[in-house]
Amino acid sequence: MKIEQIYTSCLAQGAYYIESNGEVAIIDPLRETQQYVDKAAANNATIKFIFETHIHADFVSGHVDLAKKTGAMIVFGPNANTTFNCYNASDNEEFKVGNITIKVLHTPGHTLESVTYLLIDENGRHHAVFTGDTLFLGDVGRPDLAIKSDLTEKDLAELLYQSLRTKIMTLDDSVIVYPAHGAGSACGKNLSKETVGSIGDQKNTNYALRSDMTKDEFVTEVLEGITPPPQYFAKNAKLNQSGYSDLDQVLSTGNHPLSVEAFEELANTKEALILDVRTQQDFVRNHIPGAIFIGLNGGFAPWVGALISDINQPILLVVPEGMSEEAVTRLARVGYDNTLGYLEGGMDAWTASGKTTDQIRSISADAFSEKSNDNQLHVLDVRKDGEYASMHLNMDAVQHFALDYINRQMDQIDSQKTYHIHCAGGYRSVIAASILKARGFHNIIDIAGGFAALKKTNLSMSEFVCPSTL
C-alpha cells in the first residue's frame, strides 16, 4: 500500500494518491491531472477511482479531466448534484482498491454531500481517514457555504457536530488524519500548518472535538469569527458541479507569447486586465500603468479569486521569464481560464519599445517613523481583521482597510489624500497599492517590509491580543 499526499502551497490544498496491488485511487485531485496519470504509469498501475470529498468551492478540481483521460469512476457522497456522469455513494459503502478498502462515511456539515473516506488496510485495520473539509488539523470546515432558503448556517453547524461525534470521534486514536487543507485556506478559521495528524491528537488539541462540548457550544464556537466567503467560492463550486474546459485548451490560449504591440492592442480592444505576477519589489520599481499586482511568490490563486470579481475576465500577464505556464495553470486552478497571453520579453521589452511605465513610491519603516508626527499623515493597514485586532500601530492616523474587502471599501478613502500603506510583510500592501492606483488613487506610498518592519521601530503599538482569544 502506498499513500502520497500531494500538497499545493498556493492553495493550501492536499490531494492524495493511494495505490495497492496495481490499482489507484485519487482523492480531491488538482486541475492539472497529468501528474497523477504519469505517476500511475510509472508504477504500472491503473487509476480506478476518483474520490471527491465534496463539491469544492475554493479550487477547480481535476475530476472531470482525469476521468476523461483514464476512464476512472468519479465518486461523490450522497445527493451530490452534478451535470456529468458520476457515482453517488451511500453512507458506509465500500470500494476495493487492490488489497485495501475505501469506506464512505457521510459527514454532512461543511456541505450536505460531504464525506470522509476511511481507508481499511489489507489486514482489515482502520489505517487513515481522508477528511476533506469536514475535519482539519486544529479546526473544522466552515458551515456557511451550503446555505439555502430552508437551511441556515446554524443548521449546517448542527449537522457538522453530529458528523464529527458519530463518524469521526468514534474512530481509534491511532487513525491517521489526512485533511484537504492546511494553514492559509479560507475553508476554516485557524488551520494548522501541519498537514498530517491523528484522531487522538485532534481529540486533545482541536477545540471542536472537545469531549464535553454541547451542540449549542459547538455551534456558537464554530460560527464565531467566520468572515464572508471569498466571492469566487460559489463560482468554483458551480464549475465543479457542471464541468469546465480542458486544461490543455486553457494553456494553449493563455500560455501564448505576445509582442508589445499585440499585447497593447489586446489590452485596449478586449478590455483585458493586465496582471503582473512578478515579485512585489519588481512591480514597485517598474510596471505597466494600470496593471494589477498579485505575485506568484505569495498566496496567488486565492488572492486572484478574492479580488478579480469576474471569473471570465480577459487577462494579460506580465511574468518572470519561464513562468508563463505556471501563472496560467495557477489561474486555472481557481477557474480563471480567460488568459489571452503574456508579454514576450516582459518589462524589458516594454521599456525597450519606449512605452510609458509607472512606479509605486516606497519608504522604509524607519523613514516612516521619522515622519510619524505629521498631522497630515494617513495610514492604511490592509491586513486581515484578526491581524489588525491582534496588534496595530497606535496612531490616530491609522485606518483599517482589509485587502479582502478593498473592492467594497473604495468610498472610505479620499483620492485627494496621500496614504501610507502596509500589510504584514509587504506582499499584500503592494497588491492594494496597485488596485488603488488603477482606480485613480495615485498618492500611495508603500511601507517596505510591512508591520514586521514597523515593529522594529520606536513607534507606539496597541497592546498585543492573542488571536486565539479574539
CATH code assigned at 300: 3.40.250.10
Where are any strands of DSSP class E within 222-277? Answer: 257-258, 273-276
CA diameter of the chain: 73
In 183-220, which positions are buried (b, 16+ CB within 10 angstroms) versus exposed (e)? Answer: bebbbbbebbeebbbbbebbeeebbbbeeeeeeeebbe
CB atoms within 10 A of CB 63: 26
Domain CATH number, residue 8: 3.60.15.10
Q: Scanning the structure block, which residue is given the C-alpha cell 491581524?
A: 387
Instruction: For residue 13, give the amino acid letter.
Output: Q
What's the pTM?
Answer: 0.93
pLDDT tens-place string over residues 61-73: 999 999 999 999 9
Rounded Cα distance, 109 and 384, in Å:
26
Residue where one domain finishes, among candidates 232, 259, 287:
232
Residues 6+ apart with CB under 8 A from 70: 37, 40, 46, 47
Domain count, the chain: 3
Residue 240 domain flag: no
Residue 142 domain flag: yes
Residue 214 domain flag: yes
| Residue 123 DSSP SS3 | coil
Residue 198 domain flag: yes
Whether 127 and 102 have beta carbons less than 8 Å apart is answered as: no
CB atoms within 10 A of CB 376: 8
Rounded Cα distance, 263 and 328, in Å:
16
pLDDT score at 439 = 94
Tell me: do 100 and 226 sit in the same domain: yes
The CA distances from residue 375 to 126, 332, 396, 398, in Å, are 65, 46, 9, 12
Where are any strands of DSSP class E within 174-232? Answer: 176-179, 197-198
Tell me: do 212 and 75 sit in the same domain: yes
pLDDT score at 467 = 67
CB atoms within 10 A of CB 398: 18
pLDDT score at 292 = 98
Tell me: do 163 and 57 sit in the same domain: yes
* Of the candidates 397, 444, 402, 442, the residue with the CA atom closest to the CA atom of residue 424: 402
Tell me: do 115 and 78 sit in the same domain: yes
pLDDT score at 154 = 96
Tell me: do 153 and 45 sit in the same domain: yes
* DSSP per-residue codes, 323-365: -HHHHHHHHHHTT---EEEEETTHHHHHHHTT---B--EEE-H
Domain that holds residue 81: 2-232
Residue 237 domain flag: no
Please, is 37 exposed, middle or buried when counting C-beta atoms within 10 Å of its C-beta (0-12, 13-18, 19+)?
middle
Residue 37 domain flag: yes
Whether 151 and 143 have beta carbons less than 8 Å apart is answered as: no
Residue 238 domain flag: no
Residue where one domain finishes, among candidates 309, 328, 352:
352
Residues 6+ apart with CB under 8 A from 343: 257, 258, 260, 263, 316, 317, 318, 319, 349, 350
pLDDT score at 470 = 53
C-alpha cell of residue 303: 488572492
Residues 6+ apart with CB under 8 A from 45: 19, 22, 23, 24
Rounded Cα distance, 370 and 452, in Å:
17
pLDDT score at 374 = 82
pLDDT score at 147 = 72
* Of the candidates 405, 302, 287, 292, the residue with the CA atom closest to the CA atom of residue 347: 287
Tell me: do 342 and 418 sit in the same domain: no
Tell me: do 32 and 141 sit in the same domain: yes
Residue ranges in the chain modelled with pLDDT below 70: 149, 467-470
pLDDT score at 146 = 82
Residues 6+ apart with CB under 8 A from 441: 413, 415, 419
Residue where one domain finishes, among candidates 197, 232, 267:
232
Tell me: do 98 and 158 sit in the same domain: yes
For strand 292-293 and strand 94-97, is the pairing parallel, antiparallel, or unpaired?
Answer: unpaired
pLDDT score at 468 = 60
Tell me: do 311 and 366 sit in the same domain: no
* Of the candidates 179, 171, 216, the residue with the CA atom closest to the CA atom of residue 197: 179
Rounded Cα distance, 168 and 110, in Å:
14
Rounded Cα distance, 138 and 194, in Å:
9
Residue 59 domain flag: yes
Tell me: do 342 and 287 sit in the same domain: yes
Tell me: do 393 and 263 sit in the same domain: no
Rounded Cα distance, 9 and 50, in Å:
22
pLDDT tens-place string over residues 248-287: 999 999 999 999 999 999 999 999 999 999 999 999 999 9
pLDDT score at 225 = 85
Rounded Cα distance, 300 and 329, in Å:
11
Tell me: do 228 and 96 sit in the same domain: yes
